[in-house]
Each structure stands twice: as structure tokens, then as C-alpha cells.
Amino acid sequence: MQQLLTVDIALDTLSQLSLDDQIMVSEILAKRAIEQRRNELAESIRISREEYAQGKTGSGSVDDFLASMKD
């Protein structure tokens, strides 16, 4: 049976690395997280633009939005 990797196991394993290697891993993880977030934002923008092009969304002021909620 395959053992699941937990945060505790990962941290314990990483703590066995030299300080320089730990810093390098930290920097790599930070860059990967930034890249993943950038990809998520790009996908959200793509979907929003597609919905706007299909007329599923609109534009207006906050007052316009609040007025439409009363209808």
C-alpha cells in the first residue's frame, strides 16, 4: 500500500536538507505558487471575457446593479 505524503512528512524530509537547499526549495515553491495563481487568474479572465462576449454579463454602476435587484 502506498503511503500518503502528509505535510508533516514533507516538512520532516525537507528539514534533513542543508539550509541552502531548504531556502532553494522554499523559493521554488513560492515561484510555483505564484505561477499557479497567475494561471488561475488567466483562466478566470478568459471565462469572464467569454461570458461577456456571449452577453451573459453586463456593465453598469453599482446603483444600476442595486436597481436591477429590486425588479
DSSP string, the chain: -PPPP-HHHHHHHHHTS-HHHHHHHHHHHHHHHHHHHHHHHHHHHHHHHHHHHTTS-----HHHHHHHHH-
Residue 18 pLDDT grade (very low, low, confident, very high; cuts 50, 70, 90): very high
Q: What is the pLDDT of residues 50-65, one digit of tens each?
A: 999 999 987 789 998 8
Residue 35 pLDDT grade (very low, low, confident, very high; cuts 50, 70, 90): very high
Grid coordinates standing for 62?
A: 453599482
Percent of the chain at pLDDT > 90 equals 68
Find out whether 20 and 26 touch, Cβ atoms under 8 Å.
Answer: no
Q: pTM here?
A: 0.67
